Amino acid sequence: HSRTPFPNQAKFRSKNPLDLVYGDLCGLISPATHSSKKLIILLVDDCTRFMWAYFLTSKDQALSTFKEFRHQIEMEMRMKLRMLRTDRGGEFTSNEFTKYYKENEIARQLTAPYSLQQNGVVERRNRTVLSTTRSMMKAMKLPLTF
């Protein structure tokens, strides 16, 4: 079987900020930070392409970090986050996260298994953030810990 190729660019883009936010957990990053942070949760707004990045020590911090992000961004923008698109990672599909989606009327979009392209906006940002960070560390001749 062969799969139909994905288009290079999405045909749909949100007209309003926070209508759709892409989320992804990236890691384990190496080296870890001095405070033992080894994961990054990236959130990207589909309309503006603005990105937020939070460092985590473990995956179980994903929900509390997302709650903090949502509270902060809704207060700043005076708009409601309507939809979150993520992969099917356990941190996003847990019972606690599912309950939070329902209680706060946030629509959830889960990508199909093995289809990184469906969450391509944030997946590409992951690569950019990590490669830029590694390049800067190498250029500055930093040790493997920072």
Q: Write out pLDDT tens, residues 52-93.
A: 989 899 999 999 999 999 999 999 999 999 999 988 888 999
Give percent of the chain above pLDDT 90: 45
The predicted structure's pLDDT at residue 28: 79
The predicted structure's pLDDT at residue 82: 97
Two structure tokens written together for 129: 């953030």
Q: How many domains does the chain have?
A: 1
Q: What is the mean pLDDT of the chain?
A: 81
Q: What is the mean pLDDT of residues 126-144?
A: 66
Two structure tokens written together for 56: 């985590």
| Euclidean distance between CA atoms 97 and 90, whole angstroms | 9
**132 domain-assigned:** no
Tell which wins on pLDDT, 132 or 73: 73
**79 domain-assigned:** yes
What's the CATH code of the domain at 45? Answer: 3.30.420.10
The predicted structure's pLDDT at residue 100: 97
- pTM across the whole model: 0.77
The predicted structure's pLDDT at residue 136: 63
Give Cα 113 to chain centroid, integer Å.
Answer: 17
**130 domain-assigned:** no
- Whether the bond into 42 is cis, omega within 30 of 0: no
